[in-house]
Structure 1
Amino acid sequence: MRSIFLLSCLLMLFSPRLYPQTCQVLVKELQGEYTGGCKKGLAHGQGKAAGTDTYEGHFKNGYPHGKGTYRWADGSVYTGNWNMGKREGEGTYRYMKNGREELLTGIWKNDVYVGPKPVPPKIIKKYNINQVSFHKAGEGNQVILMFKQGGMANASIMELMIAANNGIEFRSGSQIGYQQVTFPFEAKITYKTWNPLRTVLLDCTLEFVITEPGRWEVRIEN
């Protein structure tokens, strides 16, 4: 019994989650009380800090970092990702404006809201096609279609038909694409091609939509 009692006391004494520590939080508005993980005298790991504002979540080297919830003195609340004390990545911000609660959900960069979370490209229909991949190569208003087979350009494409909702079609070598696109961009593609063993002629269909603006590459593999 004596051993169990001593062990319990030691666990309570050294547990960082049960007792406040002399562990520094480097955000001025959060300085006051802190309970949680500590490393080299700085808040690190899961913890909770309270000053004029409060924060509960993950810390790194004294700053909110990772996932957590920050509450400002005026009642505003942000829940989401942090990077060294600044909102970064996906999150939700609730605040009052003209007596009404407003909700801002999306992507943050360097503590500034940059917009809603991008909607990924969506395949509506795929028939007799092994794989379709979408790659955003940069900013712009272009969609490039790349027909592949065995990692190489597919040279056996026949009876190709493309119906797109907007844009100007262009062709460059084995690539076909659309420029001056307005998003969302929708396309329906039909064609024939031999299978890799060239034993079966396949009727292929692909329908997709791309919502996020950019310079996109669509790789179609047979």
Structure 2
Amino acid sequence: MIKKFSAEFVGTMVLVLFGCGAAVLGGFDIVGQLGIALAFGLAIVAMAYGIGPVSGCHVNPAVSLAAFVAGRMSLKDMGLYWVAQILGAIAGAAILGLIAKTGFAALGANGYDAGSPGGYGLHAALIFEVVATAIFVIVILGVTGEKGQGAFAGLAIGLTLAVIHIVGIQVTGVSVNPARSFGPALLQGGEALSQVWVFFAAPAVGAVIGALLFRFKVLEPEA
């Protein structure tokens, strides 16, 4: 379990550092929305193949919740993964804050209303995060199942996350991952921290919806 904890810690740290780092250090004026989206997606691809054999590369409490609901993970393991993911996200945000010229004032936190890059409100944030997380976990559970495309799983998952970011960055900055949201929000504080509940609640609902489709064999392939 130490190996799994370490893998999830490192994987989530890398996701936050590279993904949020592209937004903070690159930004819309340098790498653009597409560049930020690809940074998140490619970080997942890299970690999927780097730590996937150790922990499965969840690096996301919503993914671990989905695995639990779908019957692919124990409650104990889910709790361990959650702790590693949250701590990893905080570490990634802390490293980014030490590098960025703005320090901890802007770490790529998610938000709505004034915290939304495109000025979208709470209802849009909730709808997007629920739907996007459900789609994300459906892809993950599908490609990592017994009849999934194991060798291409990391690529499929990373590309899905990139597409989600291309569509949703203007809405919330894209979470679909409570750890990714909490790390930057905790260190950034203020409005980002007051809004972070949305990025726990909505991804959790989306994860359960997606997982139940596998739990009740709706999307499980025929034997």
TM range (shorter): under 0.3
Bigger radius of gyration among the two: 1
Q: TM-score, structure 1 length as denominator?
A: 0.17
**Higher RCO, Cα 8 Å, sep 6+:** 2
